[in-house]
Chains A and B, each alone.
Chain A
Amino acid sequence: MSGALSARRRRALAGLLAPHSLLLAAFFVVPLAIMAVYSVLTPGLYGGVEWEFYPYGYGRVLGAPLGEVEEFDPVYGEILLRSLRLALTTVVVTLLLCYPAAFWVSRLPPRRRALVLFLVTLPFFANLIVRVYAWMLILRPTGVLNQLLGLAGLPAADLMFSETAVVIGLCYVLLPFMFLPLYAAVERLDPALVQASRDLGAGALFTFRRVILPLTAPGILGGCILVFIPAFGNFVVASLLGGAKVMLVGNLIEQQFLAARNWPFGAALAMLLLAAVLVLLVVYVVRTPHPEGVR
């Protein structure tokens, strides 16, 4: 960036950015601020809040020794950790599925490539809940999966309402978010660079480690972030496929607002979720070597 913008260009820029900035302020910053404030207020009797400082929602989760009314309960920490574990599993599984697929798709002829990309985005055309219900039909004890296993003479699998079912559901829902950034990075990788590596005497593994992996790292990072964040806070998949057995932090928050009517505690959980995501993101971004020279 060189020099100061002229007054005219600055006005034009302000005019162009205004709608977007106002939208973000009204529908993102303001609600977030409301949640932050609510998280330290007193719960109202029938939901809502009373305007009195009351930070004990945090104490219940983190174990600050403040608890006169609200007591520290390790179960909330466990729920957070379980959410984290399932989100990370989802990231790893979708990455392992999508990375080789991205290479395969990038080598297809253009017309078939466009078709595959269309198919990847196809699920977005149907409602999320409907799609997750379809997985219930597949995974339930008398579902499609067990019928197929029965036909093949294999023992039935009892997957419904388990962590496995939740991970399957999360992977299914979030797969496109992993695939698209990975595909974008893989497609940008110049095949001549891979040939140059081979030409210089490098085997397949050396080429992967020294050329393919570093040059597709931005896409891997992007996909992981795009999958991790929604997986961490998701509650639809967990409540449909995990039931009461697999409660995630998203379900807990939903419960606090809709069932327990403890808005401040729900808000505090949401703030903690947000903080956890931010911390992980910062660690990840700082520790990943910056891929300079990658356009």
Chain B
Amino acid sequence: MQSDDDSPQADGQSLLRVAGARRTFLTPEGSAVRALDGVDLNIRPNEFLTLLGPSGCGKTTLLRAIAGFEDLDGGRLELEGRSLEDVPPHRRPFNTVFQSYALFPHLDARDNVGYGLDAARVPRAERERRVDEALALVGLSELGRRRPRQLSGGQQQRVALARALVNRPRLLLLDEPLSALDRGLRQAMQIELKNLQHTVGITFVVVTHDQEEALTMSDRIAVMRAGRILQLGPPGRIYDTPADRFVARFVGDSNVHAGRVAAVSARGALITLDEGFELHAEGTGFAPGEAVDAMLRPERLMLAREPGAGPALQAVVERVVFVGADVQVHLRLPGGAALRALHRHLPGAEPPPNVGGQAFIRYEPAAVHLMRSAP
């Protein structure tokens, strides 16, 4: 998975470089937790980068270290080649949108937005103009005199965004910015955040545990686990060619099965899975005998009553779950392996197979993605 993202030529367009970042916390019980375990990351100018991972993977620690609220035990942070080691948070040209928004309850929206300008002693007239612009940017021009308490969750979030953007930071850090919003608003804000990032031309670094959010908004995603970055790349590449079974399972729905490469030929590879079935894959640089994890996305499996020209697996339909646009079909192979397939739910299309009945799972060898075997 080593891609151009980490190649030397990418250094030329690095805004912030994280090198070997390490941070260990002591729990109250006295055990050590490695929140950051050697993180390397190049953040490029004007990109929308998402740090994605389950809770406790270190993504928030990394964000806070960039903001300056956490010290690193080891490694470096460099802004355009200059070390940030001795730069306190208030001297870093970054601004944060906090998860709780952290709006000042005793100031109205205007004064919240103007806070950073006041701290920087921006002259009165310019301050007023920039506050107006920032409020207009997030569509809150009419509500400038409201206190945070008098604003809805979505409006508070916009104030928090305006308060950060008004300072024209080099880097905007957003900590789970949409987690407090309800589903409809969250989806609208995903698009809006992306548009906003385009408009203002500022680098956004967003922390989230929501893979759908990450896929929707990001130029690049860094998938994190246990203090490390497992994979870094554009959403499409992360989705289609995950680096390992953890990434495959965390991003999107997937069938992942452990096995071994049985044979490699010019046409592709034959994989025998531990659960007693075989898959045909395209040749992907694994040698015979090597342990691999094979991934199949459910939407790339086709269900049919007959085996076709290509490879197919025979299975029993165990359950059919209606999930809206699609029908999710749970299948069981003779050897006991469970697979899920998506059956597009269109008018006039073939109905989903009956529960308890037999079905053939057809797939393209190109749809089988092989990954390094992970524990």
Contact = CB atoms under 8 A, between A and B. Distances in A.
Given A195-B98, A214-B106, 18 more contacts: A192-B100, A192-B102, A193-B105, A197-B104, A199-B69, A199-B96, A200-B90, A200-B119, A201-B90, A201-B91, A202-B116, A202-B119, A206-B118, A206-B119, A292-B106, A292-B147, A293-B107, A293-B147
Interface in B68-123: 68-69, 88-91, 94-96, 98, 100, 102-107, 115-116, 118-120
Interface size class of A (residues with CB under 8 A): 20 to 34
Contact of A201 (B100, B119, B147, B149): B119
B90 A202 contact: yes
B148 interface: yes
Interface in B23-72: 28, 67-69
Contact of B104 (A196, A203, A206): A196
Contact of A193 (B88, B95, B96, B104): B104
B65 to A, nearest CB: 13
B116 A201 contact: yes
Contacts of B69: 195, 199
Given A190-B102, A210-B115, A293-B106, A200 B147 contact: no
A295 interface: yes
Contact of A198 (B89, B100, B105, B147): B89
B208 interface: no
Given A195-B98, A196-B96, A199-B95, A295 B105 contact: yes
Interface string A213-254: 011000000000000000000000000000000000000000
Nearest to B100: A192
A197 B115 contact: yes
Contacts, number: 74
Interface of A: 109, 190, 192-193, 195-203, 206, 210-211, 214-215, 291-295
Given A210-B115, A293-B147, A201 B105 contact: no
Contacts of B119: 197, 200-203, 206
Contacts of B104: 193, 196-197, 210-211
B62 to A, nearest CB: 16
Given A210-B115, A294-B106, A198 B98 contact: no
Interface size class of B (residues with CB under 8 A): 20 to 34
Contacts of B103: 196
Interface string B118-133: 1110000000000000
A293 B91 CA distance: 29
Nearest to B115: A200
Contacts of A295: 105
A200 B116 contact: yes
B317 to A, nearest CB: 51
B220 interface: no
Nearest to A193: B102
Given A195-B89, A294-B106, A201 B167 contact: yes
Contacts of A203: 90, 119
25 contacts: A192-B98, A192-B102, A195-B69, A195-B89, A195-B96, A195-B102, A197-B115, A197-B119, A199-B67, A199-B69, A199-B89, A200-B95, A200-B116, A200-B163, A201-B120, A202-B116, A210-B104, A210-B115, A291-B106, A292-B147, A293-B105, A293-B148, A293-B149, A294-B106, A295-B105
A293 B151 CA distance: 12
A185 to B, nearest CB: 13
Contacts of B116: 200-202
Contacts of A192: 98, 100, 102
